[in-house]
A and B are shown apart, each in its own frame.
Chain A
Amino acid sequence: MEAMQTTETMEKTVQENGLYRDAFAALERGRRDEPAWLRRLREEAFTRFSELGFPSAKVEAWKYTNTAPIAEKVWTPAPRSAARGAVSERALAPWRIPGAVEIVFVNGTFSEKHSRVPVARGGVTVQSLADLLTSSPEKAEAWIGKQTAGEVSAFASWNTAFFVDGAYVEIVPGAVVTTPVHLLFVTAQENALVVSSPRVLVLAGARSQATVVETYVGDGEAVSLTNAVTEISVRESAVLEHLKRQEESRSAYHVHAIETRQARGSGFTQHNLTIGGLLARTDLNTLFTGEGAECTLNGLFVGSGTQHLDNHTRIDHAQPHCSSRELYKGILDGKARGVFHGTILVRKGAQKTDAMQTNKNLLLSREALVDSTPALEILADDVKCRHGSTIGQLDANALFYLRSRGIDEDHARSMLTYAFAADVAGRIKIPAIRSQIETLLGLRFSQTGSEEISS
């Protein structure tokens, strides 16, 4: 009850004190050169943000995640210039993807120094959003805020009002791009209470095929907030693999909305890997705008200490003959808390929908907690929808089996935990990225490091 009151107070803070009004006005003054449509969009978004305020526990979608720790702090928008070059190459090295087209953002702003070939290459254009707004504002206009697949949240509105930069990825129709595109976002935390608001647009042209990776990491331990929005359009018969991995510091707050629209016959595979952050919330909204499209959502969240990791997914079957496959796994240790909320909406007329959702959770300690809520809303009558959810501990029989062969208890536990997680990582198609993630999980769970456990 107390927490709720705090949040309500914060809603008032935003409105009455006009806390971010000053910050917004200051930004606006520096944006006189921005196109009128964008200034209007930002104004509307800021108004919506002010009206909604930070969501309280009364808002169903935020029932299990208390935003008060974010609401009660006064965040300063990341400065546009100061961020450049503030990150060491050493901090970036573990996250780079060999061979990828890679552009790096420091506190949400493009860093040329750290980026690798952010130019048109083999059917793909990768550039900073700030560049796009200067060079082809009409492209940006057709895009920004247009891919929304669900209701726009206060956080997403805040992003629209405040974003300074981000990435624009366009895959030419028909192009098969085998080189992954990597967007690497680093929070440089030399200054406390900085909010970064990166905006990402991904346009997968008709019949194209590509892989886009978004990585969010922190360099330093100061308190920070990333409030990101990614908009993705998968055009007719395009195939897009999108991977988000988040390993920000344990004092970071992270909120990210990924909005995807899928046209007829398209395929979208999304991997969502959450490991870092003190409080991390990802909203994945996917909307089928054409028939015969397929979407696969794979998620893994791994928390310990006092981490709070929340994943909300929503698949909107607005068209017939579409299929969705969703597998989310959570591993929680210490006093960590996990939330999985998976909505599958099958609209009237979306016949022959084939949807399957699975959420499996592993609790490694007595105090770890997970809230798993499948929410199926089915308004069509000729559909196949299945869902399942489990919450459990490590299998005592498996543990004893391993120990009875001479493997010590800690190692047996880490082997079983890794195996539980590896199944999700194993679904990533690009070998370089898959092995990077397997290494990461190996380090997290196993004393043997990156040694291959699964065959």
Chain B
Amino acid sequence: MTENSSMLEIQNLHASVAGNEILKGVDLTVRSGEVHAIMGPNGSGKSTLAHVLAGRPGYEVTQGRVLYKGVDLLAMTPENRARQGVFLAFQYPVEIPGVSNVYFLKNALNAIRKARGESELDAMDFLKIVKEKAKLVDLDEELTKRPVNEGFSGGEKKRNEIFQMAVLEPSLAILDETDSGLDIDALRIVAAGVNALRSPERSMLVVTHYQRLLNYIVPDFLHVLVDGRIALSGGKELALELEERGYTWLEKEPAPAATGANC
């Protein structure tokens, strides 16, 4: 794969949850190294898009396709997507009592390394990585030994997501409302962690409801999702316009670039 080649190609993606169509023809291309932000009002399908890409059961793709590094992403199980380099930072990270963060993450990393044809890491090498990456998001090392997300504050949970991302080093990171529930200090830390992970080989899809996050994670492109379609695309300056005007003006106009008409 050459630089600036296509990382993700979403073509006319339709998806339903419990029989309700949420995505109604999404088209989006992300190239290697690019950061794309997806904004939109509540219920527009932002989180659905993130989950469909990660392969969450219960999200049914009814039309369209998604190519990841040129391969059919939708045909892969969630674990295979992760092994191929897809990472979803959850809006609501799940608490898993009884499973320690490091145990879980070591298994995850070794599964991914195995898929890449690399050797599995032993406990010593792994703990070195943990130390280094925990520093990146200012995550208390004690938290890495505790059960996954159990008893973590909202900010700690979000930092733990970015910490995991740093350890797993994905090619495509999807950040689902990583800013929600964070105060400005936590937001700065999380954003700094994300920015440190930006690289020409890594693409990011940053899903957010508020423009605020984009002051810290500056995207290359910004798309507005309205009613399951991308209603508008532009550069980072579009965020400011949205901040000023809100989303309602977009909801009233017909989607300009809608290809897969939904009728």
Residue ranges of A at the interface with B (Cβ–Cβ < 8 Å): 395-398, 400-409, 411-412, 415-416, 418-420, 422-423, 448, 451-455
Q: Is B97 an interface residue (CB 8 A)?
A: yes
Does the CB pair B82–A419 fall under 8 Å?
A: no
Given A406-B82, A409-B79, A454-B100 contact (CB < 8 Å): yes
Q: Is B102 an interface residue (CB 8 A)?
A: yes
18 further contact pairs, Cβ within 8 A, besides A406-B108, A419-B147: A395-B96, A400-B57, A400-B94, A401-B90, A404-B82, A405-B82, A405-B87, A405-B105, A405-B108, A405-B164, A406-B79, A407-B111, A408-B79, A411-B111, A420-B98, A452-B103, A454-B103, A455-B103
Nearest 10 Cβ contacts at the A-B interface = A419-B98, A406-B82, A405-B108, A455-B100, A401-B94, A403-B78, A406-B111, A406-B112, A403-B79, A455-B145
Given A408-B79, A455-B102, A401-B96 contact (CB < 8 Å): yes
Kindly provide the distance from the CB of A198 to the nearest chain B CB, expressed in whole angstroms.
34
| Between-chain CB contacts (< 8 Å), 22 pairs | A396-B57, A398-B94, A398-B95, A398-B96, A400-B94, A401-B148, A403-B55, A404-B79, A405-B87, A406-B111, A406-B168, A407-B108, A407-B111, A408-B79, A412-B79, A415-B99, A415-B107, A423-B98, A451-B103, A453-B100, A453-B103, A455-B103
Residue of B nearest to A454 (CB): B98
Does the CB pair A454–B147 fall under 8 Å?
A: yes
Kindly provide the distance from the CB of B198 to the nearest chain A CB, expressed in whole angstroms.
21
Does the CB pair B79–A401 fall under 8 Å?
A: no
Residue of A nearest to B58 (CB): A396
A408, B82: Cα distance in complex, Å: 10
Please, which residues of chain B bring their CB within 8 A of the CB of A406? 79, 82-83, 108-109, 111-112, 115, 168
Does the CB pair A416–B103 fall under 8 Å?
A: no
Quick one: which of A395, A404, A423 contacts B55, CB cutoff 8 A? A404
Please, which residues of chain A bring their CB within 8 A of the CB of B107? 407, 411, 415, 448
Please, which residues of chain B bring their CB within 8 A of the CB of A448? 107
Please, which residues of chain B bring their CB within 8 A of the CB of A420? 98
Please, which residues of chain B bring their CB within 8 A of the CB of A453? 98-100, 103
Interface core residue of A407, A415, A448 (most chain B CB under 10 Å): A407
Interface core residue of A401, A451, A454 (most chain B CB under 10 Å): A401
Q: Is B154 an interface residue (CB 8 A)?
A: no
A418, B99: Cα distance in complex, Å: 9
Please, which residues of chain A bring their CB within 8 A of the CB of B57? 396, 400
Residue of B nearest to A455 (CB): B100
Kindly provide the distance from the CB of A435 to the nearest chain B CB, expressed in whole angstroms.
16
Kindly provide the distance from the CB of A431 to the nearest chain B CB, expressed in whole angstroms.
18
Interface core residue of A397, A423, A452 (most chain B CB under 10 Å): A397
How many A-B residue pairs lie within 8 Å, measured between CB atoms? 96
Please, which residues of chain A bring their CB within 8 A of the CB of B103? 451-455
Please, which residues of chain B bring their CB within 8 A of the CB of A422? 98
Quick one: which of A405, A408, A412 contacts B168, CB cutoff 8 A? A405
Residue of A nearest to B51 (CB): A400
Please, which residues of chain A bring their CB within 8 A of the CB of B109? 406
Q: Is B212 an interface residue (CB 8 A)?
A: no
Quick one: which of B77, B99, B164 contacts A454, CB cutoff 8 A? B99
A398, B90: Cα distance in complex, Å: 12
A419, B150: Cα distance in complex, Å: 13
Does the CB pair A415–B100 fall under 8 Å?
A: no
A423, B96: Cα distance in complex, Å: 12
Does the CB pair A408–B54 fall under 8 Å?
A: no
Q: Is B146 an interface residue (CB 8 A)?
A: yes
Does the CB pair B88–A404 fall under 8 Å?
A: yes
Please, which residues of chain B bring their CB within 8 A of the CB of A416? 96, 99
Q: Is B93 an interface residue (CB 8 A)?
A: yes
Kindly provide the distance from the CB of B160 to the nearest chain A CB, expressed in whole angstroms.
11
Does the CB pair A419–B99 fall under 8 Å?
A: yes
- Give B47-67 as 1s and 0s: 1 = Cβ < 8 Å from A's Cβ atoms: 000000011110000000000
Please, which residues of chain A bring their CB within 8 A of the CB of B87? 404-405
Please, which residues of chain A bring their CB within 8 A of the CB of B55? 403-404
Please, which residues of chain A bring their CB within 8 A of the CB of B93? 401
Quick one: which of B100, B102, B104, B145 contacts A405, CB cutoff 8 A? B104
A418, B147: Cα distance in complex, Å: 13
Kindly provide the distance from the CB of A300 to the nearest chain B CB, expressed in whole angstroms.
13
Please, which residues of chain B bring their CB within 8 A of the CB of A451? 103
A254, B145: Cα distance in complex, Å: 40
Residue of A nearest to B93 (CB): A401
A236, B102: Cα distance in complex, Å: 44
Given A400-B56, A406-B79, A454-B147, A418-B98 contact (CB < 8 Å): yes
Please, which residues of chain B bring their CB within 8 A of the CB of A400? 56-57, 78, 94
A455, B102: Cα distance in complex, Å: 9
A415, B94: Cα distance in complex, Å: 15
Quick one: which of B95, B112, B147 contacts A455, CB cutoff 8 A? B147
Does the CB pair A407–B79 fall under 8 Å?
A: yes
Please, which residues of chain A bring their CB within 8 A of the CB of B97? 419, 423
A418, B164: Cα distance in complex, Å: 22
Quick one: which of B78, B98, B99, B105 contacts A404, CB cutoff 8 A? B78
Residue of B nearest to A452 (CB): B103
Please, which residues of chain B bring their CB within 8 A of the CB of A397? 94
Residue of B nearest to A399 (CB): B57
A407, B145: Cα distance in complex, Å: 19
Kindly provide the distance from the CB of B100 to the nearest chain A CB, expressed in whole angstroms.
4
Kindly provide the distance from the CB of B74 to the nearest chain A CB, expressed in whole angstroms.
15
Kindly provide the distance from the CB of B120 to the nearest chain A CB, expressed in whole angstroms.
12
Please, which residues of chain A bring their CB within 8 A of the CB of B79? 403-404, 406-409, 412
Does the CB pair B94–A395 fall under 8 Å?
A: yes
A72, B94: Cα distance in complex, Å: 50
Please, which residues of chain B bring their CB within 8 A of the CB of A404? 54-56, 78-79, 81-82, 87-88, 90
